[in-house]
Amino acid sequence: MTFNGKFCALAVAALLSCFVQGTAQADILDDVMQAKKLRVAVVLDYPPFGSVGTSMKPEGYDIEMASVIAKSLGVAVELVPVSSANKIPYIQTRKADVLLNIGANPERAKVVDFSEPYAPYYIGVFGPADIKVGTIEDLAGKTVGATRGSFEELVLSKNAPQGTDIRRYEDNATTISAFMSSQTQLVAMGNIVAAAILDKNPERRPEQKLLLLNSPVRAAVLKGEARLLEKTNAAIAAAKKDGTLPAMAKQWLKQPLPESF
C-alpha cells in the first residue's frame, strides 16, 4: 500500500471511530442515568390520561405511568407538558426523553419507535342523541371538531367524506369545549375521554356514532434509541405482571385491561 493509501485508510478509521464515539455519547439512556432524571412528555388537557387536578398538580393515568417508568430505571421523573401538535417535535429536539399517550402509525414510525401498548383506546365520532349518524358518509354536511395534529384529526381527515366540515382546534380542552357549547355538531375523540365527559353529566352528552380506529395507547422514544425503548417495555411488562397497570386502569379508565394486554 502506498503512503497515500495508508493515510486514507487511517483517515477513514479515525472518522469511523469518531462516529461510533459520537453515537455512544448521544445514547439517551446514558444521559438519563447520568442526570438521574427521566423527562416524560405528557398531555395535561386530556383526562383521564392527564389533567391538572383540584390540588393544581398533574394527575391521571399517564402521570402514574411516567412515575412507573422512571421508578423502574431508579431515577426521578420530570413531567414535560406538551400538546397534541408538538409532542413529537419535543422528542425530536430532545426536550423530552419519553413520550406518553401516542397511537402508532407508519408516518410517526419514521421518527419515533413505539413501545408495547399500556392502555386500551379507540377513536370514534361522538355526538348527542339528536344527531343521526349511521355510516361515515353521514358526516357530509356536518361539523366535526378535532384537535389539530392529533391522531383523531389524522384518522378523521383520512376517512371523512367530501363535504364534512372539520373544525380544528389547537388543544383538546378547546375541542371538547367547542362541542359542549354546540360550536360543532360532533367531535372526534377517544372512547375513554368521552366516558370522562359523561362522568360530569353535562347537558350535551356525547354518544358514540362511529368507530374510526382501534388504537391502543403506547409510549414512544426517538428513532433508534433501542436501549431506552427496551427499558420502557420492561417497565410496562413489569407493571402489568405485578398488578400496577390493572389497578391504574380500574382507577382512571373505569375498566379492566383487555385480556389481549
Domain of 185, CATH number, reads 3.40.190.10
Is residue 115 pLDDT above 90, yes or no? Answer: yes
Residue 15 pLDDT level (bands cut at 50, 70, 90):
very low
- pLDDT of 21 above 90: no
Instruction: Indicate whether 85 and 19 sit together in one domain.
Output: yes
Calculate mean pLDDT across residues 220-247. 97
Sign (positive/negative) of CA torsion 28, 29, 30, 32?
positive
Tell whether 173 is covered by a domain.
yes
What is the mean pLDDT of the segment spanning 7-19? Answer: 44
Whether the CB-CB separation of 97 and 28 falls below 8 Å is answered with yes
Instruction: Look at residue 2 and tell me if it is in a domain.
Output: no
At residue 23 the predicted structure's pLDDT band, cuts being 50, 70 and 90, is very low
Q: Per the structure, how many domains does the chain have?
A: 2
> CA–CA separation, 65 vs 49, rounded Å?
9
Statement to judge: residues 203 and 237 lie in one domain:
no
Residues 115 and 35 placed together within one structural domain of the fold? yes
For range 138-149, the mean pLDDT: 96
In terms of domains, do 155 and 75 share one? no
On whether residue 3 sits in a domain, the answer given is no
131 and 105 fall within a common domain: no
Same structural domain for residues 116 and 224?
Answer: yes
Check whether residue 199 and residue 235 sit in a common domain: no
Of the CA atoms within 13 Å of residue 253, those in its CB half-sphere come to 23
Strand arrangement of the beta sheet that strand 218-222 belongs to: 76-82, 37-43, 98-102, 218-222, 112-114
Q: Where are the alpha helices (DSSP H) in the chain?
A: 3-25, 28-35, 61-73, 87-92, 151-159, 172-180, 191-199, 226-241, 244-248
Q: What is the pTM of this model?
A: 0.75
Asked if residue 92 lies in contact with residue 111, where contact means CB atoms within 8 angstroms, the answer is: yes
Same domain, 199 and 233: no
Same domain, 232 and 114: yes
What SS3 class is residue 181? coil
Give the domain extent around 126: 122-214
Reported as a pLDDT band with limits 50, 70 and 90, residue 256 is: confident
Residue 28 one-letter amino acid: I
